[in-house]
Structures are given as C-alpha cells and as structure tokens.
Chain A
Amino acid sequence: MHKKTLVLGLGNPILTDDGVGVLVAENVRTRLPKDTHIDVTEVSVGGLTLMETMIGYDRVILIDAFQHLEENSPGVVHRMSLEDLRSISPTQHSVSPHDASLVTAMETGQRMGLPLPDEVTIFAIEVENVMDFSDQPTPAVAAVIPEVTEAVLAELN
C-alpha cells in the first residue's frame, strides 16, 4: 500500500521569486510517470486553507519561498520539518495573516481529529525579490530550481 503523497508548491507565480515553489512543483510533475499515485498541486495560500489542502494525505512535501528577516542568501535551500517551522521564522506561505500559522492550523486540525499527514517535509528556498510582479524568478533563485526538483524526487523515492 502506497503512502498517499502530495507535493505542494506554495507561492504566487506572478511575484518574481515568490512563485519558486510553484515552478519546482511543476517540474516535479513533468518528471513523474503518468500513472503515478503521487498528487502534485500548487496554491498561493497559507494557514487554515493550507492545512485543509493536506487533509487525507499520509505524507506532504511543501516547497515554499523563504526570507530571513536578518541575513538572506538567495538560492540557499533548507530542508525543514514542521517542528523547525515552529522554532524558526516561518516560510512565506506557511502563515496567513488572516487566520493562523501553519503550525497552529495543524494543531487545530489534529485536535479536530482531521486525517492530517504524519510526515510533512518543507523545502524552503531563500529568495531575493517578492515585491515586484513578474513571472520570472531572479537568476540566483532560478538556478536552484533543478537542484530542488531533484531533491524532491529523491525524497519521493
């Protein structure tokens, strides 16, 4: 029995580097066999809606843009757990200013008894520009898309 798995690209695909997670997810999709049991999707939301997107899956891999508040090195990739999200700065889309952080949303969902994944892996890509509208990421961020794609595929295998 396969684990029900979701690859979820987070971000706004028209906000320069913000959409890097969406681009990685699209790449992953094209690399998977046609009869794959793995779902791949993308959303530009956080918080409760993000938690609800994960209902019914055993395992979820999130890919999101990430900005340190202090030092930032565009193109650096971090592999994180939900526990890491709790203890450090959240990634761009794991929170929603209008409802809850992903960590709070997951805890709320668990309390409700919702079937949420046991395994959540987050690939957080440090970004440079999330303030200008464009469908092209900056060079340093674009350069790591293949590497993150491979990392996600390796995780799936």
Chain B
Amino acid sequence: MNRITIDPITRLEGHGKIEIFLNEEGDVENTYLQIPELRGFEQFCVGRPAEEMPRITNRICGVCPEAHHMAGTKALDALFHVEPSSAVKKVREMFYNAFYVTDHTTHFYALGGPDFVLGPDAPAAERNILGVVHKVGVEIGKEVIDTRMRNHHVIKVVGGRGVHPVAGMPGGWSKAITEEERDEFVEICKKNVDFALFSLQVFDDIVLANQDYVDLILADTFTHRTYYMGTVDENNLINFYDGMIRVVDPEGAEFVKYEAKDYAEHITERVEPWSYLKFPYLKNVGWNGFTDGKESGVYCATPLSRLNASDGMATPKAQEAYEKFYETLGSKKVNGRYQPVHQRLATHWARLVELLYAAERMQELVNDPEITDPDMRMIVTNTPDEGVGCVEAPRGTLTHHYSTDENGILTKVNLIVGTTNNNAPITMSVKKAAKTLITKGTVVSEGLLNRIEMAFRNYDPCMSCATHSLPGQMPLEVVIRDVEGNEVERLSQFTN
C-alpha cells in the first residue's frame, strides 16, 4: 500500500471523517476514523477555583451537560473530602435519571431509530425524527417531545437552571425539592415509566417482528468480542450515579472491579499518529492492536456494555426487560449471569432497557421520604488536594480528576469522557463493517455507506465532548481511496 497521508481537518472542524483505503484487489485495506480535538482545556482550567468546574465542564458539551455537571460535582466531594448526606445523593440521582430519560429517548427516536423505523436504505433526508413521525404517526412524536420537555422541566427545577445546571456543590446540592414539586414529579415519573414500556413495545413491533432487522442485528458485520465496562452497585446491578467500576471479559467473567479514584491503575491511553483522540485500554491486559478477544485490552463502555458488565437491573420492570434481552439474543447463563451480547447493534435495545430502568429508578427516588429533605448543604472544612468523580454518562463511563493547591485553585485537570472510552471499539466497528460490505466490484451506494455509518452510530459518539457542535449535520464524510491514494468516492451523509 502507498504511504497514507491524512491532512489534518482544518476547514472541516468538528466533522468526523472516515477514510477508507482500498488495496490492489479493490478490497478494504484499512479505515481511519478521524475526530478533531479541541485544544487547551486543561490550561483554561488551571488557576481557577475548583468549585467552578461543574459549571465550566457543563459547557464543554451541548449534549450531556448534566453528566459533566454531576461528574464535576462528585469530583468536588472527593477533592474537599466531604461525604454528601443520603438525601443529597438521592436528589442528585433523581435529577440524573431524569437526564437519562431525555437522552436515551432522544437517541432512540431521533438518531438510532430511523435506521430501523424507516430502514437502512431510506434516503438520508428522511432518516430523521421527522421521517419517524411521518411513518409512525404524530402521536408518537408528541410523546417523544412531551417526554423530553417534562424531564427537562425536572432538570430545570432541580438543577437550578435549564440545559446547563448549576446546583452541584461540594458535598451538597443548592436546591431542595418542595412537597409541591415532588407531587408534580410523581405524575411525571408515572408517564416516564409508561413511555419507556411503550418504547420497548415499539422496538418489539418494529424491529424484533422484522426478521431482516433481527438478522442485521445478529450479523457478524456488527459483532465484536471485547471487554465491557460499567458502574455497578453493591449487588452488581447497574447504577448510573454511583458505584464501583466493573469490567468483564469477553466471556462474561469479572476481570476487575475498582473504585473510580483508582482508574489510572486500570486504564491507560494509547496514541496513534493518525488520530487526534487517544485510545484508552485496559492496562493490565495490554495493547494488542485493534483486535477482539481476551488478549486485547480494548474495552467498550456503552449501554450494551453496562448491561454486559452487570448482573442485572435494580428495578423490577427493567429486570424483566433485561432478561428478555438476553434470552431473545440467545445468551446462556454461566455461573448465574448471562454471557455478554457482542452484537453492537443490540446497543439500541440495551438503551431502551436502560430507559426503563432510569424511569423506574427516578420514580423510586421521587417517592422516597428523604427526597424533600430541606437540608442539602454540607459545610466544607477540609483542605482540598485531589479528587476523582465518576458517573455513567449515557455514552460511557465519565471521569473527572482534579488537583488543587491548599486554597482550592486548580493545578491539574484530567477528563476521560464517555466517547473516548469507545474510540478503539468504534474504530474497529467501522473497519469491520467497511471490510465486510465493500469488496472488489462493490457499487458504493448511499445505503451501503449508511450501513457503515450504523456501525459507528450505535455508539452515539459524542464528538462535542472531545470536539464541539458540528458546523454541518451528522458528520461523516466518507472518502474512499484506491491503492495509489487517489480519491475514488467521496460521500457526505446528512442524516438529520
């Protein structure tokens, strides 16, 4: 193969770009997913008071400000050595699950769903939420928007501000919930649970009832056997707000379970010359290239990963959905727990199982007597030094790590954002899909490119975290080059 030169993305800032290189036979030799990286975040933060971080980091990303706000707030708990009260934890977790309800709903109906509701070969201009509404009816569209809006209302009331919350503080939360607000939330939670059950039914009716889609999900094209990461509670059940980080191997056996603060003992990052983004991997397995299997330190942190890394869901209806998920996909129980599902397109289904959990968990917390405790503040008296905060962001485990001087002024900042965890798996998924779908003589159509993009879309990579909102629509410019490096095809996909 010729030397590969990939120009840094300058004018296309924010765009993802996939370069596909063909060999002499016209088969795929290699693929490169490029995501540009924003610069200077640490320098921007150093010298500022640490308590500003939950409000600074929630500006990094327009997609999951709540996740950054929460990871930042938890990092402050650790930094200032202050343990939040049980009421504070419950309010935070309730707020956080409201965010999950909005985020998972949006992904399924606006981004992942169109591939199934309209089909992978539908014109790109129709493969969006408007297309879904056309196909399934305006009532469902209304439900989606209502679900987003009622939970954004909860986020605004409890977070102190819409979109970019401000309530997180070391050891506490600046907004207590009144009895009146709680009564309103009880109604919202009922609707959320109904909506999540309805969404799983939609998945049953539209996807599982269609053998073509089931075959697509089960296809080897979209399958990778890697390690999986997720946060679990003391019973090894999924929790989005807090717990231990658990990693299982490709056969489902627990590889390690550690406290978030010890992440650097378990995760390290690899630099590739062709990528701006680093590739985290399991330090104690080692880097063995972009490969599947137990010998490769590549791990995945997504809704599917969280299901695989846990022993189940902590709420009853979600547990039923969890069992159905594994049974339907042919997973066997070994030592009392289901073996991992490796088919990456099943992530869309896993996301809906998590949606139901988030709705149920939020409901449990809203009905908890402590949720209206007026005492949400802890007085900080300890000298700050270093702290790690970690939550499950919808797109993967999110870690904030701050160091300060004795006055709480930041000296060092490190973030591992959800999508970065999945950089290696995404790269592998794109490569495998391209290799399988493009062979000598293949006519490259939009539908085919969309299938390659589906390999990437199921991770819902949050480039805004590492990068920024895009100037164009859903990114991907796919460039296919021949053995000489000449461009033979260039297609831009605009999916929304």
Contacts and interface: CB of A to CB of B under 8 A. Distances in A.
Contact of B142 (A43, A112, A132): A112
B164 A111 contact: no
A49 B163 contact: yes
B473 A98 contact: no
Contact of A131 (B39, B44, B133, B145): B39
A95 B62 CA distance: 10
Contacts of B62: 12, 43-46, 49, 93, 96
A69 interface: yes
A130 interface: yes
B226 to A, nearest CB: 24
Give 8 closest A-B pairs by Cβ, nearest first.
A133-B44, A99-B110, A45-B62, A133-B40, A100-B496, A44-B62, A132-B40, A132-B39
B56 interface: yes
Given A43-B163, A48-B148, A131-B39, A100 B470 contact: no
Given A13-B59, A45-B62, A97 B474 contact: yes
A134 B40 contact: yes
- Give the bracket for the number of chain A residues in contact with chain B: 35 or more
A112 B253 CA distance: 47
B494 to A, nearest CB: 8
Contacts of A130: 13-14, 468
Contacts of A134: 40, 44
A52 interface: yes
A67 interface: yes
Given A100-B110, A104-B496, A131 B128 contact: no
Nearest to A18: B468
A10 B65 CA distance: 15
Interface of B: 11-14, 36, 38-41, 43-44, 56, 59-60, 62-63, 65, 106-107, 110-111, 128-130, 133, 138, 141-142, 145, 148-149, 152, 162-164, 460, 462-464, 468-475, 496
A73 interface: no
B348 to A, nearest CB: 14
Contacts of B468: 12, 15, 18, 130-131
A69 B471 CA distance: 8
Contacts of B11: 67, 69-70, 72
Given A12-B59, A14-B59, A46-B62, A96 B469 contact: yes
Contacts of B130: 100, 104, 107-108, 111
B138 A44 contact: no
Contact of A90 (B110, B163, B471): B471
A71 to B, nearest CB: 9
Contact of A111 (B14, B43, B59, B133): B133
A114 B468 CA distance: 29
A81 interface: no
Contacts of B110: 47-48, 98-100
A72 B11 CA distance: 9
Nearest to B163: A43
Contacts of B129: 48, 99-100, 104-105, 108
A111 B111 contact: no
Given A130-B468, A133-B43, A101 B496 contact: yes
B63 A104 contact: no
A92 interface: yes
Interface string A45-76: 11111001101000000000001011010000
A98 B145 CA distance: 15
A128 to B, nearest CB: 11
Contacts of B464: 97-98
Contacts of B162: 43, 53
6 contacts: A14-B59, A70-B11, A97-B470, A98-B462, A99-B107, A99-B129
Interface in A78-95: 89-93, 95
Given A48-B145, A91-B471, 14 more contacts: A15-B468, A44-B59, A67-B11, A67-B471, A69-B12, A89-B472, A97-B463, A97-B464, A104-B496, A105-B129, A111-B138, A111-B141, A112-B141, A131-B38
A19 B12 CA distance: 19
Contacts of A99: 106-107, 110-111, 129, 496
